[in-house]
Amino acid sequence: MLIGIVFIISVGAFYLIHLLPGDPAAVILGTGDSPQNRARLFKELGLNKPILEQYFVWIKNVLHGNLGTSFISQTSVWSTIKSALPIDVEIIVLSQILAFAVAIPTAMVSARKPDGWLDRLLGATSFTLLSIPSFVVIVLLVLFIAIKLGVPHTGVSSYVSLGQDWVVNLESLALPSFTLALGSFVVYYRVLRSDLIATLQEEYITMARSKGISQRRIMWRHAFRPSSVALLGTAGVNIGGLLAGGFIVQYLLSIPGLGYTLIQSIGLSDYLVVQGIVLVVSVGVILINFAFDLIINIVDPRISRE
């Protein structure tokens, strides 16, 4: 199944170019169109060969870790991706830590007294946040925190790599991570809250209560784990979405992650880089979902038994 989907995505990524009107060679070369480049392109991909053969030449290269060399920057597509990907990973990890750290306790507070004033307040807050797109959040955050308050290292183009200075690195990624965390928090809070409320009605919660253990322990040890299946499924989809949609927060601040690189390459019509990123991100999204399915099976032994 997994291999099948990856295969189909590779076909999709490859033939994307043939679905578009115009000369494929011109699209691939983009602004890097020159006689030397054209000669190299025909040699590498064999554009005059049958289209099926072109695909096999390409996929063989991809499987050897060779995504081609950009006709514009003349650097290997794979090395471009390799230097950008860790930034996406860092932003996603930071945002998810933040989102879970806030969503889990607040969902528990809400589920303890559904329709209590705290639950209503959190519900209204999450509902409002649900309606604010992340690009609006990042624009407003940059406007108020970086520009109006002038907090250092949070503005445009202040990205510093982790190896260079980790404190400044964290500061420069604070706003994008917070933005993604906000969106994730809303989804996680709502999913976990409704599942916790259902779980707390279960007989085994009454049984746990009859052991004389604290409310906190019942929440964390007895109710949380059986309530987290939908949360994990949602998290898998959401994190995949963040990888694919990472350009939103990177673009404004010029943080050179995959998303930003993708947009840059689109602007330059650097087809091979776009194709490589589409492929890597698609496979990444599928792997993330697959990993979360595995985690779900561990968390809830009922699922693998069915």
Interface with other proteins (CB under 8 A): 5, 8-9, 12, 16-17, 19-21, 27, 127-128, 130-133, 135-136, 139-140, 142-143, 147, 190, 194, 202-204, 206-215, 217, 221-222, 225-226, 230, 240-241, 243-245, 247-248, 251-252, 262-263, 266, 269, 271, 274, 277-278, 281-282, 285-286, 299-302, 305
Cβ neighbour number for residue 7 with a 10 Å cutoff: 11
Least Å distance between CB 165 and other proteins? 25
Report the residue number, 131 or 164, with the smaller CB distance to other proteins. 131
Report the residue number, 136 or 162, with the smaller CB distance to other proteins. 136
Report the residue number, 171 or 202, with the smaller CB distance to other proteins. 202
DSSP helix, strand, coil percent of the chain (3-state; round to 5): 75, 0, 20
First to last CA, the chain: 19
**Neighbouring-strand partners of residue 29:** none
Burial class of residue 84 (count of CB atoms within 10 Å of its CB; 0-12, 13-18, 19+) = buried
Least Å distance between CB 27 and other proteins? 6
Report the residue number, 141 or 181, with the smaller CB distance to other proteins. 141
Q: What is the CA radius of gyration of the chain?
A: 24
Least Å distance between CB 192 and other proteins? 13
| Structure-block tokens of residue 304 | 């693998």
**Neighbouring-strand partners of residue 76:** 69
Report the residue number, 164 or 210, with the smaller CB distance to other proteins. 210
Least Å distance between CB 132 and other proteins? 5
Least Å distance between CB 259 and other proteins? 9
Least Å distance between CB 163 and other proteins? 28
Report the residue number, 97 or 291, with the smaller CB distance to other proteins. 291
State how far the alpha carbon of 122 is from the alpha carbons of 42, 129, 218, in Å: 59, 10, 22
What angle in degrees, to the nearest 10, is found between the helix axes of 258-267 and 77-112? 130
The distance from CA 262 to its chain's CA centroid, rounded to whole angstroms, is 14
